[in-house]
Amino acid sequence: MTRPVRLILGIETSCDETAAAVVERGGIVRSGVVASQDEIHAEYGGVVPELASRAHVERILPVVRRAVRDAAVSLTDIDAVAVGHRPGLIGALLVGVSAAKALAWSLGVPLIGVDHVHAHLYAPVLRPPGGADGAPSPGPVFPALGLVVSGGHTSLYRLASWRSLERLGATIDDAMGEAFDKGAAILGIPFPGGPNLDRLASIPGADDAAHRFPLSRLTPGSLDFSFSGLKTALLYAVRGVPAPGGVFVRDHSALAERERVDLAASFQRAAVGAAVLKIERALDALAARDGAACGTLLVGGGVSANSRLRRELAALAHRRSLSVLVPEARYCVDNAAMIAGLAHEFAGAGEWAGLDLQAVPTTSC
């Protein structure tokens, strides 16, 4: 007989953040620790998988200990251990999965395996303790529309419940965060590219209409995304159209600062515009299919921190009389609170993992 699950320890190591969190009743974040590896990967301009795995090994236990201490509980108070076991870098995932299994087994509590992409959709309902009434957020009305925009994934979902997802569309090339990171590299913006490009594009006076970059629609009604055309358009705007033989005549070092700012703003406008376009299409498609307008949009993943996307989502909420739930800034990027939070839903349904839980590089949703 397992005891009622109130406190879940979540562990997340799918990419370059080593994270642990203690979440109460699926929504109140008692502690959340994220050890970023930005400084390790910065000189390579992207995440180096082997370096990420090694850093996770060094950090996982101190990070878990701190999460438990910050939550003002002891390990024996933990009712279940949850881990993001897919998708991600296999070596990185293995560190978190091994730690979670060892902890669950030694504490004699259940283990729960969570899909990281799925967990991003849960991030908007997380709350710190001591909020208005100390209670978890009321959450979405189902069926809800979900959008995950991260460095590895860009997908739209119909959620019939927290545990029942149907994928409506996904990127056919780059993920939105990846497009921001590559766009930043083209503009000579340092790692981490997405947030730095956002900051540059937000400089007062930035002209987002300086360049008319293409807004990817794909076929009429398509709920898929494509960012490669936008990336190429930015590349040509910065370096010129390549001469025969594929040689570029210049690079970002030839740009005046004002030009860089305007290019960043124009790029961000097109990328966000494409995301909003697909959300609107999905809302229309769901309304036609369900016979009623969808009342909640859940947005998660690193790019949900983007200032322009958040502004445009607020406008969309108003335009469509829609409740748009976006995470607090700290829960947009990879974190373990979203893993522990979603895991509470699985615990409620008795969906436990065995000690044979596998680390899997691909998403289940």
**Please, are residues 306 and 270 in contact by the beta-carbon 8 Å criterion?**
no
Q: Is 171 in the site for ligand KG4 (CB under 6 A)?
A: no
Q: Is 245 left (phi over 0), alpha (psi -120 to 50) or beta?
A: left
Least distance between ligand KG4 and beta carbon 216 (Å): 17
Among 150, 171, 226, 306, binds Zn ion (CB under 5 A): 150
Instruction: Pick the closest to residue 197 from 211, 186, 213 (CA basis).
Output: 186
Least distance between Zn ion and beta carbon 363 (Å): 10
Q: Is 305 in the site for ligand KG4 (CB under 6 A)?
A: yes
Interacting span for ligand KG4 (CB under 6 A) from 132-140, 145-153, 203-211, 232-240: 145-153
Least distance between ligand KG4 and beta carbon 64 (Å): 20
Task: Identify residues 9-68 at the interface with ligand KG4 (CB under 6 A).
Answer: 15
Locate the DSSP E strands across 231-330.
Answer: 296-300, 323-325
Residue 233 — φ and ψ, nearest 5°?
-60, -40
Among 201, 334, 341, 346, binds Zn ion (CB under 5 A): 334
- What are the tokens at 16? 């370059």
Total interface residues for ligand KG4 by CB under 6 A: 20
Least distance between ligand KG4 and beta carbon 115 (Å): 11
Task: Identify residues 317-336 at the interface with ligand KG4 (CB under 6 A).
Answer: 333-334
Give the residues across from 166 on adjacent strands: 158
**Please, are residues 230 and 186 in contact by the beta-carbon 8 Å criterion?**
no
Among 303, 324, 338, 343, binds ligand KG4 (CB under 6 A): 303
Interacting span for ligand KG4 (CB under 6 A) from 65-73, 139-147, 303-311, 354-362: 303-311
Q: Which amino acid is at 353?
A: A
Beta 296-300 vs 144-149: how paired, if at all? parallel
Name the residue nearer to ligand KG4 (CB basis): 258 or 311.
Answer: 311
**Please, are residues 130 and 53 in contact by the beta-carbon 8 Å criterion?**
no
Handedness of CA 243, 269, 45, 190 (dihedral sign): positive
Q: Which helix (H) or strand (E) holds 165?
A: strand 164-170
**Please, are residues 127 and 29 in contact by the beta-carbon 8 Å criterion?**
yes
**Please, are residues 110 and 332 in contact by the beta-carbon 8 Å criterion?**
no
Q: Which amino acid is at 230?
A: L
Among 84, 96, 110, 177, binds ligand KG4 (CB under 6 A): 177
Name the residue nearer to Zn ion (CB basis): 16 or 334.
Answer: 334
Interacting span for ligand KG4 (CB under 6 A) from 76-84, 295-303, 337-345, 356-364: 295-303
Binding mask 195-224 for ligand KG4 (x = CB under 6 A): x--x--------------------------
- What are the tokens at 352? 């436990």
Name the residue nearer to ligand KG4 (CB basis): 145 or 332.
Answer: 332
> Where do contacts with ligand KG4 occur on this chain (CB under 6 A)?
15, 150-152, 177-178, 180-181, 192-195, 198, 301-303, 305-306, 333-334
